[in-house]
Amino acid sequence: MFQFTHYNYNVLDLEKSMKFYEEALGLKEVRRKEASDGSFILVYLGDGKTDFQLELTWLRDWNRPYNLGDNEIHLAFVTEDFDVAHAKHKEMGCICFENEAMGIYFINDPDGYWLEILPAK
């Protein structure tokens, strides 16, 4: 048997990304690992409700935007108050796609990763 534990996004500006994920989604740092030579930092973010974590990886020697290809991959988040979340994300200017017919929308983080926002059922 297997169970989900975490998913990784590589980021250019770790502090900017951590601030975004806390402001936009309420995710907070639960642990981190730093290379002894300073070559990388891994920060694991959690929602405080589930065991699933988002790992943000910062690489010291990476100096260009990550190639996200067609960017057809994404993480999905459920919210109890969809309208409040939508208003907050609209104010933040991070909504990148809305599908009103499906009742969902996507936001993008500072590195361009898409995050799907779903209403609770």
Q: Which residues are catalytic?
A: 116
Rounded CA-CA distance 20/77 in Å is: 15
User: Residue 69's Cα: distance from chain center in Å?
Assistant: 17
Q: Which among 17, 19, 24 is positioned nearest to 88, based on CA atoms?
A: 24
Phi-psi region of 4 (alpha: psi -120 to 50; beta: other; left: phi over 0): beta
